């Protein structure tokens, strides 16, 4: 069992003392997180790691997951795609279904003193607010730079009823009459996904997947989702492969609130055809050691997303000092300064060019990884994230916008 003190060697005693001090301010308050999936994707990943630590600091915290049927998650996936700029049509009936599932969940749930609602799926739980007088915060993890206007108009009616909204990056902030806060996500350096691994564990994972580590390996680990552009990854690999002899790993699983996985995986398999150097791996839930080992055993890590909330996979790979080539979308530029802590690209061709470049220049690749790791250490570890949340929660009990400690 990881304890909060275990982070002292990584972030220093002062940081941990500060967390205890802030947590004291929340004595007697209960914090409740609500989202739409217990496993799969970045939100579940963060909550799984953060909740036990917040509790250890002495804050009463819990996590509830809303229930929804297949139809509901098809609709919310359409919301997700539309908010990320894909053309989608949502009928009145679908909006009604969305609201009725939110209402059913609102009737079943009891609410804490601070209710932190993650992403659009449970946003309309706020309708229940009139009946109780607590603090509601909407936590948006997605890329809101160009949302579909109609979906935004619909969601705005609910978002504006919250006390505050939290976004991951300045580019996603919206014109809203409520207080907005920027809090970027984080990774846990001591989780199974990110902790140091012995070389023997890394080797055994690659052996289990039947992958020979003798040839450079380029890897993307993500849910099989159009917006992660796995087909674009294969195209970039195919272009680079003309110049450098590499292998590609595309590994991922699903999330219970994402029904599109199997269709995208099918497309990926078609594009991969019978190339023996492309390894398409399905990762079941709780494959953290596998994700860790695949990232550590890779020569280059890709994240060729078309849209991205933050992209935890980028932080994860940088923490392992890997050279990362990722799209300049969403929260990724917060994590990568181009040619310093990684590579930012805008196209399949650009990604292919940089794969070739970094395979041929291992010194440059190594330096990018070293700088990347330092950047994550300074900005995107879970202790900084917990501090931001504790400050936000405390500030909710003050009338003014500035809280002095």
- Of residues 208, 41, 201, the one with CA closest to residue 118: 41
Binding residue for ligand UDP, selected from 7, 111, 158, 310, defined by CB under 6 A: 310
Number of other CB atoms surrounding residue 102 within 10 Å: 22
Nearer to ligand UDP, 135 or 287 (CB): 287
What whole-number distance in Å separates Cα of residue 2 and Cα of residue 151?
A: 41
Q: How far is the CB of 288 from ligand UDP (least distance, A)?
A: 6
Q: Encode burial over 173-195: b for 16+ CB neighbours within 10 A, e otherwise.
A: bbeeeeebbebbbbbbbbbebbe
Residue nearest to ligand UDP (CB): 42
Give the residue ranges of DSSP H helices in 57-163: 70-83, 92-108, 149-159
Q: How far is the CB of 120 from ligand UDP (least distance, A)?
A: 14
- Of residues 256, 187, 195, the one with CA closest to residue 49: 187
Choose the stretch contacting ligand UDP; rule: CB under 6 A; options: 3-11, 62-70, 117-125, 308-316: 308-316
Binding residue for ligand UDP, selected from 202, 217, 316, 336, defined by CB under 6 A: 316
Nearer to ligand UDP, 313 or 394 (CB): 313
State which of positions 6-65 bind ligand UDP (CB under 6 A). Answer: 41-42, 45
HSE toward the beta carbon, residue 286, CA cutoff 13 A = 0
Q: Structure tokens of 274?
A: 């019978």
Choose the stretch contacting ligand UDP; rule: CB under 6 A; options: 11-19, 162-170, 312-320, 369-377: 312-320
Nearer to ligand UDP, 41 or 369 (CB): 41
- Of residues 15, 133, 96, 68, the one with CA closest to residue 384: 15
Binding residue for ligand UDP, selected from 189, 253, 342, 372, defined by CB under 6 A: 253
What whole-number distance in Å separates Cα of residue 390 and Cα of residue 321?
A: 29
Nearer to ligand UDP, 135 or 351 (CB): 351
Binding residue for ligand UDP, selected from 49, 118, 139, 223, defined by CB under 6 A: 223
For residue 111, which phi and psi values (nearest 5 degrees)?
-115, 150
Binding residue for ligand UDP, selected from 221, 240, 329, 358, defined by CB under 6 A: 221
Q: How far is the CB of 192 from ligand UDP (least distance, A)?
A: 10
CA angle 260, 263, 267 (to 5 degrees): 135
Nearer to ligand UDP, 128 or 375 (CB): 375
User: Which residues are CB-contacts of 196 (< 8 A; sequence separation ≥ 6)?
Assistant: none
State which of positions 276-305 bind ligand UDP (CB under 6 A). Answer: 283, 287, 291
Choose the stretch contacting ligand UDP; rule: CB under 6 A; options: 3-11, 221-229, 319-327, 381-389: 221-229
What whole-number distance in Å separates Cα of residue 343 and Cα of residue 355?
A: 10
- Of residues 121, 124, 117, 118, the one with CA closest to residue 103: 124
What does R_g of the chain's alpha carbons equal in angstroms?
21
Choose the stretch contacting ligand UDP; rule: CB under 6 A; options: 64-72, 125-133, 310-318, 344-352: 310-318
Nearer to ligand UDP, 147 or 253 (CB): 253
Choose the stretch contacting ligand UDP; rule: CB under 6 A; options: 131-139, 202-210, 240-248, 309-317: 309-317
User: Which residues are CB-contacts of 319 (< 8 A; sequence separation ≥ 6)?
Assistant: 187, 189, 194, 373, 376, 377
Nearer to ligand UDP, 113 or 257 (CB): 257
Q: How far is the CB of 196 from ligand UDP (least distance, A)?
A: 16
Binding residue for ligand UDP, selected from 120, 252, 297, 323, defined by CB under 6 A: 252
- The site that binds ligand UDP (CB under 6 A) totals a number of residues, namely 18
What whole-number distance in Å separates Cα of residue 94 and Cα of residue 88?
A: 12
User: Which residues are CB-contacts of 239 (< 8 A; sequence separation ≥ 6)?
Assistant: 348, 349, 352
State which of positions 189-218 bind ligand UDP (CB under 6 A). Answer: 193
Q: How far is the CB of 193 from ligand UDP (least distance, A)?
A: 6
Q: How far is the CB of 185 from ligand UDP (least distance, A)?
A: 7
Tell me which residues touch ligand UDP (CB under 6 A). Answer: 41-42, 45, 193, 221-223, 252-253, 283, 287, 291, 309-313, 316
């Amino acid at each position: 069992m990881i304890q909060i003190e275990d982070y002292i060697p990584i972030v220093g005693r002062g940081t941990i003392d500060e967390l205890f001090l802030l947590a004291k301010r929340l004595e007697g308050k209960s914090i409740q997180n609500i989202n739409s999936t217990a496993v799969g994707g970045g939100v579940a990943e963060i909550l799984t790691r953060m909740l036990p630590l917040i509790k250890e600091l002495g804050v009463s915290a819990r996590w509830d997951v809303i229930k929804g049927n297949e139809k509901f998650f098809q609709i919310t996936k359409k919301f997700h795609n539309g908010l990320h700029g894909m053309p989608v049509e949502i009928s009145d009936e679908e909006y009604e279904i969305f609201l009725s599932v939110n209402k059913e969940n609102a009737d079943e749930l009891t609410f804490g003193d601070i209710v932190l609602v993650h992403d659009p799926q449970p946003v309309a739980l706020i309708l229940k607010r009139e009946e109780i007088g607590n603090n509601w915060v909407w936590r948006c993890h997605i890329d809101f730079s160009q949302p579909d206007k109609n979906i935004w108009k619909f969601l705005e009616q609910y978002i504006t009823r919250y006390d505050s909204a939290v976004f991951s990056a300045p580019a996603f902030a919206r014109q809203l009459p409520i207080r907005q806060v920027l809090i970027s996500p984080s990774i846990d350096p001591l989780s199974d996904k990110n902790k140091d691994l012995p070389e023997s564990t890394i080797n055994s994972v690659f052996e289990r997947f039947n992958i020979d580590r003798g040839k450079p390996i380029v890897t993307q680990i993500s849910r099989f989702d159009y917006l992660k552009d796995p087909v674009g990854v294969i195209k970039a690999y195919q272009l680079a492969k003309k110049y450098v002899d590499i292998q590609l790993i595309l590994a991922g699983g699903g999330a219970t609130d994402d029904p599109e996985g199997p269709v995208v995986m099918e497309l990926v398999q078609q594009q991969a055809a019978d190339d023996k150097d492309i390894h398409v791996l399905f990762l079941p839930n709780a494959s953290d050691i596998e994700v860790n080992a695949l990232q550590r055993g890779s020569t280059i890590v890709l994240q060729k997303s078309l849209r991205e909330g933050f992209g935890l996979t980028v932080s994860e790979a940088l923490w392992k000092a890997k050279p990362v080539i990722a799209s300049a979308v969403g929260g990724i530029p917060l994590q990568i300064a181009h040619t310093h802590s990684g590579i930012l690209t805008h196209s399949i061709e650009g990604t292919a060019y940089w794969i070739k470049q970094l395979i041929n220049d291992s010194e440059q690749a190594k330096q990018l990884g070293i700088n990347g790791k330092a950047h994550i250490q300074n900005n995107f570890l879970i202790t900084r994230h917990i501090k931001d949340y504790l400050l936000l929660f405390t500030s909710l009990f003050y009338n003014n916008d500035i809280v002095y400690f």
